[in-house]
Amino acid sequence: MAVQDNAPIGIIGGTALAALAGLDDAQQPSTADTPFGPPSGPLLRGRLATRDVCFVMRHGPGHKLAPHRINYRANIRALADAGCRQVIAIAAVGGITEPMRSGRIVIPDQIIDYSWGRAHSFYDDPDGGVLDHIDFTTPYATPLCEALIRGAEAAGLDPAGSGVHGVTQGPRLETAAEIDRMERDGCDIVGMTGMPEAALAREAGLDYACCAVVVNKAAGRSGGTAIHAEIEATLAQGMVDIERLLEQTLPQ
């Protein structure tokens, strides 16, 4: 992985990675606080493969926080304060386009943000200026994405190395018409937590990439399979794949 120093790698675990079993030498979790309040849960420090990592559960212990209730600013700020320069965000998503089949790992390269009403910027100063406009043309850090793709391949997976990540507000799933619209917009996958997390990471100067696992076909694409049943059937293997991918990615 393209890292300049020995800074810990931040990992934000989601529905597809509730805990990190491979974390050894885990130190006492720190209850990092930030000017924006506490993060979703304690930061778990430890080593994974050959790297120091700092793990935070996006939905908090017990998966209590719905996507629109997550304090994205606190999570990103806590990881930055812990010394992280790079963040790998794990996400469970629905597949919209045909190649995004259930179980597939996707390293998206673009985002369309449909979320609303979330605290989405660190730049809250009413007298802020032009510097507040971060360049978000390429929302994910390309070298980190490439490292994840290589890690997935080394783990024997068949990752989709690009894709447009549509981020909805949730917590409900989408209607079939909303998914049709998202496909017309160019979205390949749909999730609820990718924003404002990615933009906040950019504002904080962190390299950020997403490792998504498709856990269901998006609404209207399932051919009759109940979405929740599909998620349940896919999630366990997805978690195993993501852990293997991380173990292959981190030593690089």
- Examine residue 171 and say whether the peptide bond preceding it is cis (omega within 30 degrees of 0): yes
Smallest separation, CB 191 to ligand HPA (Å): 5
Q: What mask of x and - would describe binding to ligand HPA in positions 11 to 50, judged by CB under 6 A?
A: ----------------------------------------
Smallest separation, CB 164 to ligand HPA (Å): 14
Q: What mask of x and - would describe binding to ligand HPA in positions 192 to 211, judged by CB under 6 A?
A: x-------------------
Smallest separation, CB 93 to ligand HPA (Å): 5
The answer to whether 216 contacts ligand HPA (rule: CB under 6 A) is yes
> Nearest to residue 194, comparing CAs of 119, 64, 59, 90?
90
**Residue whose C-beta lies closest to ligand HPA:** 94
The answer to whether 50 is annotated as binding is no
- Residues whose CB is less than 8 angstroms from the CB of residue 250 and which lie 6 or more positions away in sequence, other chains included: 1, 9, 48, 49, 50, 51, 53, 151
Site for ligand HPA in 218-237 (CB under 6 A): 218
The answer to whether 148 contacts ligand HPA (rule: CB under 6 A) is no
| Proportion of the chain in helix, strand, coil states, percent, rounded to 5 | 30, 25, 50
The answer to whether 195 is annotated as binding is no
Contact assessment for residue 215 and residue 16, using Cβ atoms and an 8 Å cutoff: yes
The answer to whether 10 contacts ligand HPA (rule: CB under 6 A) is no
Smallest separation, CB 96 to ligand HPA (Å): 9
> Nearest to residue 70, comparing CAs of 81, 56, 83, 59?
59
The answer to whether 106 contacts ligand HPA (rule: CB under 6 A) is no
Decide: residue 37, CB within 10 A, 0-12 exposed, 13-18 middle, 19+ buried: exposed
Judged by CB, which is closer to ligand HPA: 38, or 220? 220
List the beta bridge partners of residue 46: 53
Q: In what helix (H) or strand (E) does residue 87 lie, and over which residues does it extend? A: strand 86-95
- Residues whose CB is less than 8 angstroms from the CB of residue 162 and which lie 6 or more positions away in sequence, other chains included: 107, 108, 109, 110
The answer to whether 216 is annotated as binding is yes
- Chain residues in the site for ligand HPA (CB under 6 A): 92-94, 168, 173-174, 190-192, 215-216, 218
